[in-house]
Structures are given as C-alpha cells and as structure tokens.
Structure 1
Amino acid sequence: MKELMKIKFNDLVKNLLSSYKYWIVYLILILIAMFSMFNIENYIHPKFELIILLLVSIISIFSIVYYYKHGKHELYKLTFILLLLFGLICAFTVPIDSVSDEYEHFTRAEITSRGILFPEYVDGNYESISSLTNFYLPSHDKTVFQVGEDTQKINTSISYHDSAFEQNPFYGYIFSAIGIGIAKLLDLNVIWMLWLGRIFNVIMYAGLVSLAIKKTPIFKIQLFAISCLPVCLFQAFSLSIDSFIAGLGIFAVAYFFKMSVNKFDRKDIIVFSVLCLLIGLCKLPYLALIFLILFLPKDNFKENKYYFYCILSIVLVSIIGLLWNNLIATPALYHSWRNTYFIQNNVNVSNQINYILLHPYDFIIEFLHLFNSIPYIFGGFFTFYSYTIEGGQYVASAFISFLLTLFVAFISIYPDNTKINLKSRIGTLIVFIIIYVGTFIVQLLSWSPVGQLTLQGALPRYFLVLFALLPFIFSNYIANYKNQELDRYTFVLVLFFISSMLISFAVKYY
C-alpha cells in the first residue's frame, strides 16, 4: 500500500511539474481578477476572500493537471466533478434570495416537494409553509452569517403566497423539490431547505452538461466553455428553473451535434423532439430548436421516410407548445403579482398586437434596432442579480466582463477539424435568429405597456443555449486540426472565469 501511494504521489508531482505553465497562468490571472474586484474593506478584512481563493485555486490546479494528462476524452467526467465542487461552494456562499426571482422559484419547488405538480390558486394565493414567509422572505440578500434564525427547525404550518410560477411546468422543479423534501424529512434546520434545493439543482445541471459533453462527437471543449459561463452558473447553482432549462438545452444542442455528423434513425428524431418540447414549454422561443432537424445533412438519414418524421415532429412540437402557452401558461401568468403590474402598466398581449398591426412602420423601425441589444447582452456576462427594494443588477467586474465577451467570440470561431456543410451552418443561424428575435418579441408582448415598442428586457442568461450553437455556425474548419495546447489554455480560462465569479461573491457579500 505504501509503495502504491508513493507511486501515485510521484505521478502527481510529475504531472504538476509537466503542466506548471498552465496552472501558473491560472494563478496569475486569478490574482489579477481578485485585485480588480477588491475594495478597501476587502483589503482590511480579507479572511473569507482568501479562503475562497485558496479553495478555487486548489480545485483548479488539480483539474488542470488532470486535463493535461487525460485531455478531452475524460472531459465529461472532469466537467461533472468541477461543476459539482464549484456548485457546492456557490450553493453555500451565495446569499439567500440573491438570485433573480429565487424566492418565487423556492415557493414552487416547496409546493412540488409535497407532490403537488399543479399548484392551486385560490383567492389570490398559493398554499405553502410558514418557514418561507418567516425566514426566507425577510432574509433577502443576506448571508447565513447575517441572520440568526437559520438554526430554527422547519415550520411546515400553512402560510399563503401570492406567486409561485404556476406557468412553469412541474418537471423543472423536481430536483430542487427533492432537496427540499429531504431537508423536511430529516427535520434539518430551516437553512437546509435552501442549501439542499440548490445542491440538487447543481447535481442535475452537472449531470446534464457532462452527459452532453460525453454524447457530442464534436465541439466538446467549446460546449464545456459555454456551459461554464458565469452568468449561467449563477442561475444553475440556485433554485431557479433556469438551471433545468440551461442543462437540458445544452444536452439538446449536443444531441443535435451528434445527429449532424452521424447516421440517425426514428428514435433519435423522437428523443430530440421531446427535448425541444420540454425546453419550449419552459421558455417558449426555444420551441424553435425543433427546426434544426430540417438542416441536418440528408446523408445522415438512414431512410428517406425519416424526413417525413422530421416534418411531423415539427408540427406536433409546435402545436403542443403553442397550446400549452395559450391555454395553460399565459392564464397562469396572471396568477401572481404580475397581474397587478399588468393592470397598472397597461400590459395586454392582444391590445399590443393590435397596436403593432396599426403601426407597422414604427414596429419595423424598432425591429431594425433590435441588434443594438447585442452589446448589452455580451456586457452582462459577469453581471449578477442583487436584491434591492426595486430589484437590480450589479457588475462584479467590468474588466472580466470584457474578457468574457472576447472569450465567447473566440469560442465561436474556435478552430476545429469537423467540416460542417454550408446548408447546416446557414440553417442553424436562421434558427438562432428566430429564437433571438422571438425572445425579444415575447418580452415586448408580455411586459411592455401597449404602444411602447421598445425591444428590450431580454437578459444574457436567456441566451445560453443559443451561445452553444455559435461554434456550429462560425467555427473555423481546419483539416486534421489537433492543437492540445490551445485546448489546455481554453480550459485554464474557463476555470479562471468560474473562480472569478466565486471570488466576486466573497468580495461583495463577505
């Protein structure tokens, strides 16, 4: 046993020395990032910040050594472990309800944890438990060190909540509900409902992303990089349904990548269609992902009749998705504080559509300004929600946000030895634009006062799944391209960005 341990230790030292330039680059970058975020209070009391720095550095260095040795073949395993470890740190350190709408997502997950798949809206309220109103509601944006009630036991007596994301399908909350259910079953302190709910979402997201990277035969490092964007992980490591949408969306994109380079049959068409439907029921514009199957190479169809199945899938997914949205999701949207907002701000979908039809030129002019939103979206890569009375965002670091913008642009044109035909690239770009524009149109119809045609309000996290399509559209094809050096430095940059996100939370909140 001692000899075996000695051999493994020697291997570790050897790999550390062999990969030294990569983890030294990481350490230099993370120190620069930390200094770019520190203020005078952080320099005076740097204890927690240094603890987080030490933790993320240890995880990252060992990950760099492992990736250096095993490369992309083991990337899916490493991705799961990385997201799990970073997610655990995030789940415990991100303050209570500091993620956008987390309290409302929490309410829905708690209701789901009791086996109620379709919340009942009675007299303007949903039935939940008292711990949410007694502990979580007053604890917005506070850490566990700033509240004294976190050691209380869970109070399961009935309380009432005016909002619970009834419009979202229940399956998006199953994992967080399991975590909350375990906390109640074990009679843990009240804070564990939040922590275990977040942790189970972390497990779900890490599992879906690692499975996506394993499944795809192409663009593995690119998919890993996009999946680990801080603006996405901030949501994925919370109780938000965005964790499910992003994870399943990345998996759907990976499945599309697989079908684009391999032969596929009826089962693959069914699986991809179900994935698109499940995502589209959560976020309507993503129903358009189903159109990607129109642009798969014809040579990949095992039989010509499968093209008919693709058309049938598009029709069925579209009909089911639109029926769900019109008959279930939209009416449920009014079962919340949103109804009061809509009345006070004159928000009405039908009236807004009528206004657009009566003022087509105004709408076209505004539509042509749509892509002015791109800088805002890219500029939000290192921007996170922080609770205030009015709600709001904070930019953790403009410097890192700028670097992330360059990084995503780089990932989009990343060199690859996979040749994607022009038809598939153009078709995917069309679907990309449909979803991009559709997201803004939904915001315009659902949130803007009648007569206000400004296309705005779409946040960067809404487009994570779209970012995953960018390498397929724009990647730089180079025959027989194999550059491990570039892959390794890309891996280092991903770790740098995730680590910077966790340090930014320590800087702001601790």
Structure 2
Amino acid sequence: MNFLIESYERNKKYAVAFLALASCIAIIYTKWFIDFPKIGVLCAISFSLLIFFLPKKNIGTFLAMLVSGVAFAIITPVLNTPDEQVHLARTIHIVEGDVNMDNKNIHITEDYFDVYKNFKAPFTKSSLFHEEQTTKQVGFGKETDYRATNSYWFIGYLPQAIGYGIGKVLHLSVGVSYYLGRIFNVFAYCILAFIAIKLSGKAKQLMTMVALFPMNLVLAASYNQDSVSLGLIYIIVSLFINFVSNEDKIVQLKDLLLFTSLCLLLVTMKLPYVLLIGLLLFIPRKKINCRYYYLLAIALIALVFAFTIFWYVLSQQVRIENFKLDGADVKNQLMNLLTKPKLYLPVVLKEVLLSVSHLNQLYTFGWLDLSMSEVLIPIYSLYTLITFSNVGKIKLPKVSVVGACLVSLAIVGLISLTLYLTWTPVGNAEVLGVQGRYYLGVVALMLPVICSIFKKQESEEKTFSDTFIVQSSLIVLALTVIHTISVLYAIV
C-alpha cells in the first residue's frame, strides 16, 4: 500500500501531463475528437496507469521499454515498417531450418502470403487470426525474395524466429504466430538496451533517452533485425564511454576482447558500424593494463577488417536475381567516383554534411508515410534540455573526444557512400535512400561527446532526475502510440 501511495504522489503530475498531451494529439490527428478509436482510449488509460505506478528503480526503465514495445508490436499494422515483408520471409525460412542462404530454387510456406494479403491492415481488421498454419510450400515473387537480406546473419533474426516458431509448434493461428514474433523481437531489444544503459556509467541518462527513442521501439516491434544490431551498437558505445570516463576503470585484456567480439558480431548485422572498432585507438594509454597496447589495438582492428572482407565476399555469393534498383549499378557508380572525383565526390560529401537534417525522420514511421512533424519542436526541445542538463557530468579525455568524432564522421561517410553506390542511379547528383534511423548509433556516441565538450558553470545545478528521463521518454512513446492509432485506426 505504501508503494502505491508513494508511486501515486511521485508520478501523478506525469500522468496528468500525458493525458493532456494525448488529448492534443487526438485532436490534431483526427477529423473530430469524437472519432478517436476506442482502442486509443484503452491505450491512453493503460499508459496512464503505467505512468502512475511505474517503479522508481531500474526495473522501471525496462518496463517502460517493454510495455511501449509490445504496444507498438500490436498497434502497428501488418508489415507496416520498411522492408518488413522481406525480414518476415527470412524469419520463416529460419524457422523451417534454412539457417544459411543459398541460390537454390527457393520456396516459402503459404502462410507468408496469408500475412501479405493483410498488408497494412490494423490487427482489429486483420483476417490472420482465422488463418490456420500450413506446411504447403509455394514459389515466391519479388516481394518475398529473402535473399535481399544476404548481408545479415541469422543471429539477428533469432528472437522473432523463436516467437514465430513457438506459434508454429503449438499450431496457433498465423496471426498469433506473427505477433509473437514481433513481441519476442521487442524482448530482445529491451534486454540489450537495458544492458547498454547499465554499462553506460555517467552517460546513463543519455543512453536511457536514446534507448527509449520511439523509432528504436517501432523497429524492434517488427521483424527487422535492427532490434538486435541497434542493441549491440548501444552496448559497444556504452563500453567505450565506460572505458574512458570511469576514473576507477582499468581496461583489461578481457574487456578489449569483449569489445572486439561484439564488433565482429556487428559485422554480420550492420556493416558500416564496423568502424566502431576504431575507437580502440582512442582509449588513453594510462587506462590500459597492457604494455604493448597500441600494437594489440592495431592487431584487433586488422582482425575485424579482415573478417569484414571475408563476410562481404561470402554474402555476395548469394545472388539477388529478382531484386535490382532501377538505374543503380555499383560498378559504374564506383568508376564515376574514381575517374571523376571532382564531379561525384562532392555529392557524397554533401550528404555527409546534411546527415543531421535526416534526424527529423526519426519521427516518420510506417513506410515513411506516417509523420509526426507537426509536434517535433516540443519533442526535440525536450531531448535538447535533457542533453544539456548532462553537460559537465561526463568527462571524456580529449583524445577520446577526437576519436569519437572521427569514427562518427567515418560511419556517416560510409553510410552515405554505401547508399550512393547501391541505392542511387548512376550519375545522380544526390544520394538517395538515406533514412534518419541509420544514424541512431552515431547519435548514441555523439551525445556524451557533446556533453563532455561543453563545461558546466559551478553555479548550475543538476536539472533532471533519472525518474524524469524515464517518465518523459515514456510519455513521448505513449504519444507516438496514440498518434499511430489516431491516424491509422480513426474513422474517416
């Protein structure tokens, strides 16, 4: 009883703020407030109760992520995240025992097409719960060619495969199996993100804020393998921040091997972020318990890059016969860059400089057709306030600050170059296919750097508590759920 009273007193202002803001979202995104769907009212009440009684300790952060992620898994219409149909096809193949890809005549279980027939259907209007699972195999078309995921290892699909597989083993409906896959993917992200938060030390508030970005939870609430890869990226970033900012931390050989192992695993899931291994060169020598540290660091970096080349060559052996972007040609585009650098290199450099402008896409959901642009200013103002409230709390060595900036710039450059080579028509004057979510890992790395560069005045006091970070982030997540319901479930 004391817990309930204390929770009520501590959180009532957050719940009232959420209800007021949720009403505003409903008014903004529905034709008339009376058209707001009943399921939206149910979600608003549920989130209000969660906000009221959210535990104060670390478990509260995990619950905020988990409940929000499960809400997105259920509320997000069928296959309504980018390329989810391809990731679902890959998951189904893994469930059927086809762990590694090849170039054989590929078929897929007919259940897949039951899901595809409900493309973008809300769960309240989906026929999936009436569809029984079958073992019948049929040929696939362009939409289901899972070989488009050739650069991703099966590890990134294990959570959703376990969830979907449980439904298949228990002979549950296609709909239940589909949503179980999404929910298990949410669990995986929440566990990895929570580990990252615990490891982040003095950057805990910043890592909590990033981990609770709605885009992270929306991706986790789909069949996208980004849930695992983003979780790993956040853990790697947290390890580095802990290595260089924890005054009592002496980095041991086992720490370096753990860091390298995670980078090796990341190679098979998010290739541009392999450059995070370069952070090893920017750990101050006095923090390392190793006589020949820089030789060891270079050796570990060389190992990761050698594995990257091996993985790239291996993955390219899988031919994506039914998947070709109009006008795109890696070989010719690369020749343009090499033979006419003055003409085409500035195109890539321009995209690097414009990378920050894509962060508004972190609030563009669905197939890039569900935007919250109307309410971005107050949301990003909140994130800015949280960031600057952490100024002075984190002290990174100058060499680590420089290193983090260089590695971040290199990752952005590699992302831009990759999209220019693979996604942009030959000779195009701008890079196509860039999405803000590609830079989530860079944001996680650069926020502690920003807070370390600026110095806090002695007269300034700590502005926000850990509870405020979690509760305010939970409110933003809940508002995103309400926005999704308002737009996709409202009566027109």
Q: In the alignment, which residue of structure 2 is the partner of 1:34?
A: 26
Code of the residue aligned with 1:460 in structure 2: it is: G
2:73 to 91, 97, 101: 91
Code of the residue aligned with 2:172 in structure 1: it is: L
For the pair 1:264 / 2:251, whether they are aligned, the reply is yes
For the pair 1:25 / 2:17, whether they are aligned, the reply is yes
Code of the residue aligned with 2:49 in structure 1: it is: I
For the pair 1:418 / 2:394, whether they are aligned, the reply is yes
Code of the residue aligned with 2:73 in structure 1: it is: A
TM-score by length of 1: 0.88
Q: Deviations over 1:440-481 (max 9, x none)?
A: 110000111222241232211111111111222100454998
Task: Say if 2:73 and 2:218, in contact at 8 Å, map to a contact too.
Answer: no
Task: Say if 1:428 and 1:473, in contact at 8 Å, map to a contact too.
Answer: yes
For the pair 1:328 / 2:320, whether they are aligned, the reply is no
1:103, distance to aligned residue in structure 2 (A): 1.1
Task: Say if 1:425 and 1:472, in contact at 8 Å, map to a contact too.
Answer: no
For the pair 1:456 / 2:432, whether they are aligned, the reply is yes
Distance 1:452 1:159, change over 3 A: same
Q: In the alignment, which residue of structure 2 is the partner of 1:317?
A: 304
Distance 1:346 1:15, change over 3 A: closer
2:411 to 411, 420, 435: 435
C-alpha distance in 2 between matches for 1:43 and 1:498 = 23
TM-score by length of 2: 0.91
Distance 1:422 1:129, change over 3 A: same
C-alpha distance in 2 between matches for 1:491 and 1:32 = 21
Code of the residue aligned with 2:2 in structure 1: it is: N
Q: In the alignment, which residue of structure 1 is the partner of 2:168?
A: 184
Give percent identity, aligned residues only. 23
1:210 to 194, 203, 213: 194
The alignment partner of 2:139 has SS state of strand
Q: In the alignment, which residue of structure 2 is the partner of 1:132?
A: 112
Task: Say if 2:89 and 2:108, in contact at 8 Å, map to a contact too.
Answer: yes
1:35, distance to aligned residue in structure 2 (A): 2.8
C-alpha distance in 2 between matches for 1:346 and 1:331 = 22
Task: Name the stretch that deviates more: 401-410 or 214-223.
Answer: 401-410
Code of the residue aligned with 2:257 in structure 1: it is: I
Code of the residue aligned with 2:108 in structure 1: it is: S
Q: Deviations over 1:280-339 (max 9, x none)?
A: 3222210100001111122110122233221111001011112211x123343x425323
C-alpha distance in 2 between matches for 1:168 and 1:472 = 29
Task: Say if 2:267 and 2:273, in contact at 8 Å, map to a contact too.
Answer: yes
1:50 to 12, 37, 41: 41
Q: What are structure 1's unaligned runs of at least 5 residues?
A: 1-8, 68-73, 387-391
For the pair 1:304 / 2:291, whether they are aligned, the reply is yes
1:13 to 5, 9, 17: 5
Task: Say if 2:79 and 2:120, in contact at 8 Å, map to a contact too.
Answer: yes
Aligned residues: 477
Q: Deviations over 1:160-218 (max 9, x none)?
A: 23411233111111111111111110000111221111111111001001111122222
The alignment partner of 1:159 has SS state of strand
Distance 1:458 1:229, change over 3 A: same
Q: In the alignment, which residue of structure 2 is the partner of 1:147?
A: 126
1:82, distance to aligned residue in structure 2 (A): 1.8
CA RMSD of aligned residues (A): 2.2
1:497, distance to aligned residue in structure 2 (A): 1.2
C-alpha distance in 1 between matches for 2:97 and 2:457 = 53
Q: Deviations over 1:398-455 (max 9, x none)?
A: 2332333334444544324231122111110110111011101100001112222412
Distance 1:498 1:370, change over 3 A: same
Code of the residue aligned with 2:107 in structure 1: it is: E
C-alpha distance in 2 between matches for 1:280 and 1:37 = 40
Task: Say if 1:118 and 1:166, in contact at 8 Å, map to a contact too.
Answer: no
Q: Deviations over 1:336-391 (max 9, x none)?
A: 5323x3xxx232212111111221111243244224534541211211123xxxxx
1:338 to 303, 323, 334: 323
Q: In the alignment, which residue of structure 2 is the partner of 1:5?
A: none
C-alpha distance in 2 between matches for 1:412 and 1:59 = 25
The alignment partner of 1:60 has SS state of helix
